[in-house]
Amino acid sequence: MKDKTGKLIVISAPSGTGKTTVVKKLLEKIPNIAASVSFTTRPMRENEREGIDYFFVDKRKFESMVDSKQFIEHATVFGNYYGTQKKSLLIDLKKGINVILEIDWQGAQQVKEKMPSCIMIFLIPPSKEVLLSRLKNRGTDSKREIENRFNQAVSDLNESNKFDYVLVNDQIEVAVENISLCIEGNLNKLNQSELVDKALKSFYETN
Ligand code: 5GP
């Protein structure tokens, strides 16, 4: 009998790469796909909804979930806890639903260890300048927060070699198409290496 288990797709990206928008578009484009909703101790932002963007819990609750091994992965990002609940993920995969995890690189590594067949994708911004302007234009963070997120993004880029695919998010539609190719295993159409080199170089050049 044909194995109907869903595919697990892990998408990581430095803050400000536009990952959330890309994931939204993927959900519209690809049939039979869902995004896992993470748990976090981060305060809810104005435009967010409980159970849609995250399950918002306090530290005590999160720690008790860690102790009772409810997470397939969890990590601290910008001083807050984030985690992916194991049970709901396994149920969806078993039903044959393809599931996207939009998580940081530390969590991605934990998932790879536990579920090696997952498809690991790292999205990067097209350049340092674009990342800075995206972080500033979000308007949800203070100047200090933007600086922190930028520095963290530069450090996160060093982790790109841990992923199966590194893709540039310049035009959303193109990024979505490229992620679809990775999910389908249609790699001969993927043409990213020059763009990736150019993007990474922009972060390490001193001027
Ligand atoms: P934000 O607070 O801006 O929504 O997310 C901050 C970072 O936490 C992002 O890199 C996001 O991908 C990551 N993140 C969100 N949910 C999870 C999760 O369940 N596990 C891990 N490890 N990272 C997460």
156 touches ligand 1 (CB under 6 Å): no
Over 90: is that where the pLDDT of 3 sits? no
* Predicted confidence (pLDDT) at residue 140 exceeds the cutoff of 90: no
- For 145-178, how does the pLDDT look when each residue is reduced to its tens digit (9 = 90+)? 889 889 999 999 999 999 999 999 999 999 999 9
DSSP the chain: ----PPPEEEEE--TTS-HHHHHHHHHHHSTTEEEPPEEE-SPPPTT--BTTTEEE--HHHHHHHHHTT-EEEEEEETTEEEEEEHHHHHHHHHTT-EEEEE--HHHHHHHHHH-TTSEEEEEE-S-HHHHHHHHHHT-SS-HHHHHHHHHHHHHHHTTGGGSSEEEE-SSHHHHHHHHHHHHHT-GGG---HHHHHHHHHHHH---
Sorting pLDDT into bands at 50, 70 and 90, what band is 205? Answer: confident
Name the residue ranges covered by the structural domains of the chain: 8-204
pLDDT tens by residue, 62-110: 999 999 999 999 999 989 999 999 999 999 999 999 999 999 999 999 9
Residue nearest to atom 17 of ligand 1 (CA): 103
Question: Which is the CATH superfamily of the domain at 8-204?
Answer: P-loop containing nucleotide triphosphate hydrolases (3.40.50.300)
| pTM score above 0.75 | yes
Atom of ligand 1 nearest to the CA of 36: 19
